[in-house]
Amino acid sequence: MEHDRRPPRTLNGVGPPPGESDADYRERLEQDRLLAQERWEQALRQQSSPESDAAERIRVWERRHQVDLPRNPGHRLIAVIAAATGLTAGQVLAEQSARSAAKLPAAAAKSPYQGG
């Protein structure tokens, strides 16, 4: 007699919840997969869309790859980000500079070593 070595369908939330048929469960999973794929493709289009400004394109790239824009102007990801977003390396560096400049006033305001 051969035993089924697969874990029970409901172990760790695998399989349909009680009351949902296997066919409905598979259909729901497929719909979830298609929705996730559409979101991914939409982000990819937005990442290189001429209608999005450089900052938005870079933010989309960062979200898709879960990586922040490097702070080092010589970082090799600058060229990768530029190619993936349809921007020039100069545009990516300009966004990098703008972000650095935006952080400086806030950091300076918090400095315990100012004036006095």
pLDDT digits (tens, 9 = 90+) for 50-98: 999 999 999 999 999 999 999 999 999 999 999 999 999 999 999 999 9
**Is 58:95 a contact under the CB 8 Å cutoff?**
yes
pLDDT band at residue 114, thresholds of 50, 70 and 90?
Answer: low
pTM of the predicted model as reported, rounded to 2 decimal places? 0.67
Question: What's the number of CA atoms in the CB half-sphere (13 Å) around residue 114?
Answer: 8
Q: Which residues contact 93 (CB under 8 A, 6 or more apart)?
A: 73, 78
Task: Report how far residue 60's alpha carbon sits from residue 68's, in angstroms, rounded to the nearest whole number.
Answer: 10
Delimit the domains of the chain by residue range.
Answer: 21-109
